[in-house]
A and B are shown apart, each in its own frame.
Chain A
Amino acid sequence: MGERPCGPRGRSPARSPSGPAAQGRLLWAGLHPPLLWAAPRLPRATRAIRPPRPRPSAPPLPLPPPPPPEALIAAAAAMASRLLRVGAALRLLPAATARAAPARHFAAPGDLATDEEQATGLERKVMEAMNKGLDPYSMFRPKRYAGTKEDPNLVPSITDKRIVGCVCEEDNSCVIWFWLHKGEAQRCPSCGSHYKLIPHELPH
């Protein structure tokens, strides 16, 4: 199927950038438009749970004897993944129920302190939110919903409106932008998928 053209000609005449959702648009069954904002990770049975990536943590007491440097060379391949480890961590938001909390312990005296003990400021807030499975700072991809009237895409906002960019079909390069207002769910003027604003508190 060719890509939907952008611009006035390619848009639905029933587009309503503000106010209630447009009427009379057919919903494309089975399509899940990827979204461009962060949605809170609500616990849902249909949500795909990714297994939490095992995070490096200090060994339990007493510490095992230190490995010789030669043995560490063999483990260098594992360490190479640390190059963009933070990138990987940013892609995975551990499920609140499946959280093993490996960083939540206290180091032995004489060892390096853990983040649990020493992180402060915004880093600490982010860490605590991630530990609970929340994403108040919109660090991760938004959650995908069916986009139907019964299961609209939930859009958190700290004010009464937020801009939504709908990528109606996968790989579409034309993003449909519109303001989503508090109140009744609105529909994307192009694909008709439903969006609902969810007010949430400013993180701090």
Chain B
Amino acid sequence: MAHQAHSYHMVDPSPWPIFGAAAALLTTSGLIMWFHYSSTTLLTMGLLSMLLVMLQWWRDVIRESTFQGHHTPTVQKGLRYGMILFITSEAFFFLGFFWAFFHSSLAPTPELGGQWPPTGVKPLNPLEVPLLNTAILLASGVTVTWAHHSITEGNRKQAIHALTLTILLGFYFTALQAMEYHEASFSIADSVYGSTFFVATGFHGLHVIIGSSFLTVCLLRLIKFHFTPNHHFGFEAAAWYWHFVDIIWLFLYMSMYWWGS
């Protein structure tokens, strides 16, 4: 180990950042090729390389922390700030889409019939599947908190049960939302209503999938004894992200599903 008089982690040289940048380039240019020239080669290469970089980079972080012990309390504090800043940036990302929604719906234009929902658009009933989805995400917030308490008490069995339940609820949400997308009478092309609805709920669904994946990785690590009652920041970060996803859904439900119907 390097000789140091501080408790920070000076990371060894790694190829993942530049490979990640290359993957981002392939993905973005791949999207252009797909949109304009109907070719998916570049996009597939981009998404595949992005996936490989993520797997290997985060695998290395787990090696450095759990197996090599580089994550001192000081390092953990930095990671906490980092995750909070990231989630804040995601909140601003969604803020943009909420802005678009309210801009369009508070003063509906004549092209829409001067009303919201626009003429001819039959919105989803907020008291049916969307309400169930709300209950599912709220329940998953409870189960992830239960898992957290179990971890701090060292209770591995209960933590595994609670985290598994959380992930299953997340999958249930995703499945129901996919079904709703299939069954909706309007599409993304149906005026600004369709645009704002599907872009906002679509990005939210993507974040649910990301959050579920994060929680699944935490479940695998929990089963393999990576976490201790005092040191389990990976799980805490996943739980924060999951709560964030839940809160975004609540805003989506209240504004687009309920008020907007």
Contact = CB atoms under 8 A, between A and B. Distances in A.
B152 interface: yes
Given A69-B142, A203-B5, A56 B76 contact: no
Contact of B80 (A76, A84, A126, A203): A84
Closest 7 CB pairs of A and B: A121-B69, A58-B154, A120-B69, A137-B7, A123-B69, A111-B154, A126-B72
Given A120-B68, A124-B69, A59 B153 contact: yes
B73 A115 contact: no
B7 A86 contact: no
A112 B229 contact: yes
B72 A114 contact: no
8 contacts: A66-B150, A83-B80, A110-B157, A114-B228, A118-B228, A137-B74, A203-B5, A204-B1
Interface residues of A, number: 45
Contact of A112 (B73, B145, B146, B225): B225
Nearest to A55: B230
Contacts of A118: 225, 228
Contact of B155 (A66, A76, A138, A204): A66
Interface in A139-165: 139, 158
A151 to B, nearest CB: 25
B85 to A, nearest CB: 14
Given A66-B158, A137-B6, A112 B227 contact: yes
Given A56-B230, A107-B154, 12 more contacts: A66-B150, A69-B162, A86-B80, A90-B73, A110-B156, A110-B157, A112-B159, A112-B222, A121-B70, A138-B6, A204-B3, A204-B4
| Listed residue (B1, B69, B148, B156) with the most chain A CB atoms within 10 angstroms of its CB | B69
Contacts, number: 124
B72 A122 contact: yes
A203 B153 CA distance: 32
Interface of B: 1, 3-7, 9, 67-74, 76-77, 80, 142-143, 145-146, 148-159, 162, 222, 225, 227-231, 236
A14 interface: no
Given A120-B67, A126-B73, A114 B229 contact: yes
Contacts of B4: 137, 203-204
Nearest to A116: B228
A3 to B, nearest CB: 30
B236 A89 contact: no
Contacts of B145: 72-73, 76, 79
Given A73-B145, A75-B149, A120-B69, A112 B228 contact: yes
Interface string A162-195: 0000000000000000000000000000000000
Q: DSSP majority for the A interface?
A: loop
A18 interface: no
Nearest to B84: A83
A195 to B, nearest CB: 19
Interface in A52-102: 55-59, 63, 66, 69, 72-73, 75-76, 79, 82-84, 86-87, 89-90
Contacts of A204: 1, 3-4
A143 B231 CA distance: 27
Contacts of B69: 119-124
A49 interface: no
| Listed residue (B5, B74, B231) with the most chain A CB atoms within 10 angstroms of its CB | B5
Contacts of A73: 142, 145
A64 to B, nearest CB: 9
Given A82-B236, A113-B225, A137-B7, A122 B154 contact: no
